[in-house]
Amino acid sequence: MNDIDPIFVSALRERAEGAVHVEQLLAASRRRGVRRVRTRRALLTAGAATAVLAVALTATLVPRPHTSPPPSTTTSSAQPPSPSPSASAPPLHRPAVNTSLAPLKGAGKLGEGLQIHLDTVDPAATQLFWTSSEELEAMQVFRGGESSAAPYNAYQVEIRRGDAGFHDSVPDNAKTEDLTVDGRPATLDYTQNMARLRWILYASTDAQVRIQFRDAPVTVETVRASVLEVASWLRIDHVLTCAVPFRLTWAPQGARTDGCGTSTGTGPLPDSAEQTAWIALPVGDSIGITAFPRGATNAVEPNATYAGHPIEKGPDVWKIEIAGRTYGLLPATSRLTDEQLSRILTSIEPAGPTIDPLAR
């Protein structure tokens, strides 16, 4: 596989002195994903191509342009139902339930309002990252630790419109067999160290689970049990809020918000969550703007200034500190000039929760 092994990401999280952030680690993965999307766009000769967060495993799509800003949402302080955490799992602070949208189990639509329509009741989950776009929603789950007896400590779940299709691949030596999930036909592709399970979740929406095993080789019995276990934890009976705590006072003409990302927190939200807005650019590229958790190890080490603001220009993420919080810009899929990227970064302005930081 060309993408970063999620086991490596999980190990970094467990061993690093400070927080390790998926967005920074996976900028190279997003670059590869965007190249594949551009190729697919050229072949289809239709639609606007953009990248959406690839959370350790390939997650790309060709979304339709928004004709208007995402709808406003109503949130509740209520938390979604969660299992009793295992002794090794810390309490998870999930985003609030969005009461203005119907869940997928009702009459809800995938990616509606750029909100989160999937969740897990995995009792060993220690951190979750979500991404929502019009035709794809993804959830990356980190669980357990080095002392865990489970054969895996990270996995990804994606749900996608059936006619959009998944774009990742499996090794040429992968074996295939038929399974069932909730009585629906499913296809399992696996090797001795990875597994991918796909099935029709409902109507025109497909689901996919992907696992990279940490103690390869594993037996086929372990592979089957693991993917079916992860699938059994999936929940689509509530909607979680996705929003960002900032707005942009400047962006290139024609830019639009077409994706939202959020995470669980180790303390009260939203300050302990990682929140990202994906901005599609008129040239077909995209950028991500992230508000990192307060208090995390994301200190800005300035190596440049723009309009009097000290900023850090890193190879994968540019950062700025505003009112005691670090914000990052992911320029990996952008052909914007340094001046344009610097102007976007310094135009970040803390604000109340919003789905569309470009809204005026």
Residue 328 confidence (pLDDT): 96
What are the φ and ψ backbone dihedral angles of 298, each rounded to 5 degrees?
-130, 35
Domain boundary among 202, 235, 268: 235
Total number of domains constituting the chain: 2
Burial of 360 (0-12, 13-18, 19+ CB in 10 A): exposed
Residue 32 lies inside a defined structural domain of this protein = no
Q: Is residue 19 part of a domain?
A: no
- Residue 4 to residue 7: CA distance in whole angstroms: 9
311-347 per-residue burial string, b: 16 or more CB within 10 A, e: under 16: bbbbebbbbbbbeebbbbbbbbbbebeeebbbbbbbb
Q: How far apart are CA 344 and CA 313, in angstroms?
A: 13
Which pLDDT score is estimated for 37?
34
Report residue 36 as tokens: 């594949």
178/253 Cα distance (integer angstroms):
49
Per the rule left: phi > 0, alpha: psi between -120 and 50, beta: everything else, 114 is: left
φ and ψ of 146, to 5 deg: -65, -25
Q: Is the torsion defined by CA of 247, 275, 54, 28 positive or negative?
A: positive
249: Cβ contacts below 8 Å, ≥ 6 apart: 347, 349
Residues 165 and 216 grouped into a single domain: yes
Domain assignment present for residue 267? The answer is: yes
Residue 90: predicted pLDDT: 63
The pLDDT, as a whole number, for residue 76 is 46
| Block mean pLDDT (10 aa), the chain, length 360 | 39 42 43 33 24 32 33 46 52 92 93 96 95 95 81 96 83 96 96 96 92 93 97 97 97 95 86 93 90 85 97 95 95 85 97 94
Element (DSSP H or E) covering residue 207: strand 205-212
| Same structural domain, 225 and 251 | no
Same domain flag for 275 and 310: yes
Residue type, 186: A
Both 223 and 76 in a single domain? Answer: yes
Taking each continuous run of H as one helix and of E as one strand, the counts in the chain are: 5, 18
Q: For residues 356 and 82, what is the distance between their CA atoms, to the nearest angstrom?
A: 28
| One domain for residues 276 and 313 | yes
Same domain, 201 and 324: no
Same domain, 221 and 76: yes
In angstroms, how far is CA 244 from the centroid of its own chain? 14
Euclidean distance between CA atoms 110 and 162, whole angstroms: 11
SS3 340: helix
DSSP per-residue string spanning 25-65:
HTHHHHHHHHHHHHHHHHHHT-S--B-----SS---B-PPP
Shared domain for 228 and 269, answered yes or no, is no
| Residues 203 and 315 occupy one common structural domain | no
Say if 62 falls within a structural domain.
no
pLDDT of 271:
82
Residue 302 lies in a domain: yes
Handedness of CA 220, 222, 223, 224 (dihedral sign): positive
Cα(133)–Cα(110) distance, rounded to whole angstroms? Answer: 8
Per-residue pLDDT, 285: 87
CB-based contact 32:38 (threshold 8 Å): no
Dist CA 124 CA 246 (whole Å): 32
pLDDT digits (tens, 9 = 90+) for 132-174: 998 899 999 999 766 678 899 999 999 998 877 788 889 999 9
pLDDT at 146: 67
Question: Does residue 189 share a domain with residue 80?
Answer: yes
pLDDT score at 264 = 93
pLDDT in tens, 207-229: 999 999 998 899 999 999 999 99
**What pLDDT, on a 0 to 100 scale, did the predictor assign at position 202?**
87
Does a structural domain hold residue 4?
no
Q: Are residues 89 and 213 in the same domain?
A: yes
* Structure token pair of residue 39: 């190729």
Burial class of 185 by CB neighbour count within 10 A (0 to 12, 13 to 18, 19+): exposed
Domain containing residue 114: 70-235
- DSSP per-residue codes, 310-331: EEEE-SS-EEEEETTEEEEEE-
pLDDT of residue 23: 46
pTM exceeds 0.75:
yes
